[in-house]
Amino acid sequence: MRFTIFQESRVGKRRTNQDRVAYSYTRDALLLVLADGMGGHLYGEVAAQISVQFIAQSFQQEARPKVSDPVLFLSRVLSNAHHAILDYAFDKQLSDVPRTTIVACLVQEGVAHWAHAGDSRLYMIRKGKLAAQTRDHSRVQLMLDQGLLDAEAAAVHPGRNRIFSCLGGNHPPQIEFSRGVSLINGDVLAICSDGVWGPLDADTIVGTLADGRVMDAVPKLMNEAETLGGPQCDNMTLIAMTWHDDQQEDIPDTVSTRTMPADAYTTQMEGFGRSKRDQEDLSEDEIERAIREINAAIHKFK
């Protein structure tokens, strides 16, 4: 496989970054995954992190160097990630189960499959044109579909953030699967959170990514979204990948997996550890002290 890939995540004007994104690849398979934790709900960030981490880990375990069935894999890992969030909420005795959107895309044998729940999006661009796009699982999208709203009204609709499917929460997710799409040289796959697509129009996104130079296009789109997002700017995350023919001569910055061992993988994650919250580290001294105290208690009561 040969591809160029670039991802970026920014906190925007929010206190914490609840978006998570990662890609992982083996010699023969590539996974892209993005989650946007739902801020209105407790621990949205945790839900996003559990999902991305879980899905990336599953990929690393199963893609040796390919997964056996891409659609089954996506279906299983998304639903397991949903349950991992429920388990987490149970363990922590949370009254409200955290939620997150999800988009995961798997490419192997030159074919891309993706699955999503919520309003984070995947765009596929071929020869400068939009070739495919996920449909948001939002009330606004439903209204658009029914002709109750036009694109302009949708962009400013007060309920545009309301989604009806996600991982976590109290209802099982409604996951939507793409058909398999055979990639050709120059195809671009881009996945982003609503902090990116919200302020931008589709033409800008497609136009900027069209030439496939994702290293430049991604920061450029992020800058524009951030400017347009203004003082309320949401978390923004964008990952884009350009597909290349294996035969092509070396292009700078591309990843070629041809020489990778069959059991190796590489993973890049973004957005982690951006907020500190209450995760204080245990210092060496504190560890020593805790052990001394426990031993003192053991001997005192004996």
Partner 1 sequence: MATQQNCALPPGFLLDHYRVERQLSLGGFSIVYLAYDQDGTPVAIKEYLPNSLALRAEGEVTPHVTEAHQGAFRYGMKCFFEEGRALAKLVHPNVVRVLNFFRANGTVYMVMQFERGRTLHDYVQKNKGNVRERFIRGVFTRMLNGLREVHAHKLLHLDIKPSNIYLRADGTPVLLDFGAARQTLLSDTPILKPMYTPGFASPEQFNSRDALGPWSDIYSVGASMYACLAGSSPQRSDERVKHDTVVPATKAWAGQYSPHFLATIDWCLQLDPLKRPQSCFALQKVLAQRHREAPPQQKTWLEGLGSRLKTMIGRT
Q: Which residues bind partner 1 (CB under 8 A)?
A: 45-46, 49-50, 53-54, 57-58, 60-61, 80, 84, 87-88, 90-93, 95, 269, 272-273, 275-282, 287-288, 290-291, 293-295, 297-298, 301-302
Q: Kindly state the smallest distance separating residue 263's Cβ from partner 1, in Å.
A: 14
Nearer residue to partner 1 within complex by CB, 55 or 189: 55
Nearer residue to partner 1 within complex by CB, 18 or 134: 18
Q: Kindly state the smallest distance separating residue 299's Cβ from partner 1, in Å.
A: 9
Q: Kindly state the smallest distance separating residue 58's Cβ from partner 1, in Å.
A: 5
Tell me the C-alpha distance between 260 and 17, whole Å.
Answer: 33
Q: State the SS3 of the chain.
A: CEEEEEEEEECCCCCCCCEEEEEEECCCEEEEEEEEECCCCCCHHHHHHHHHHHHHHHHHHHCCCCCCCHHHHHHHHHHHHHHHHHHHHHHCCCCCCCEECEEEEEEECCEEEEEEECCCEEEEEECCEEEEECCCCEHHHHHHHCCCCCHHHHHHCCCCCCECCCEECCCCCCCEECCCEECCCCCEEEEECHHHHCCCCHHHHHHHHCCCCHHHHHHHHHHHHHHHHHHHCCCEEEEEEEEECCCCCCCCCCEECCCCCCCCCEEEEECCCCCCCCCCCCCHHHHHHHHHHHHHHHHHCC
Nearer residue to partner 1 within complex by CB, 66 or 76: 76
Q: Kindly state the smallest distance separating residue 201's Cβ from partner 1, in Å.
A: 35
Residue 239 vs residues 23, 234, 270, 283: alpha-carbon distances, Å:
9, 16, 10, 36
Contacts of 274 (CB under 8 A, 6+ apart): 9, 11, 16, 17
Q: Kindly state the smallest distance separating residue 231's Cβ from partner 1, in Å.
A: 27
Q: Kindly state the smallest distance separating residue 291's Cβ from partner 1, in Å.
A: 5
Nearer residue to partner 1 within complex by CB, 15 or 301: 301
Nearer residue to partner 1 within complex by CB, 151 or 298: 298
Q: Kindly state the smallest distance separating residue 212's Cβ from partner 1, in Å.
A: 30
Nearer residue to partner 1 within complex by CB, 233 or 269: 269
Nearer residue to partner 1 within complex by CB, 216 or 293: 293
Nearer residue to partner 1 within complex by CB, 203 or 281: 281
Query: The tokens of 263 are what?
Result: 């059991």
Q: Kindly state the smallest distance separating residue 53's Cβ from partner 1, in Å.
A: 8
Length of the chain: 302
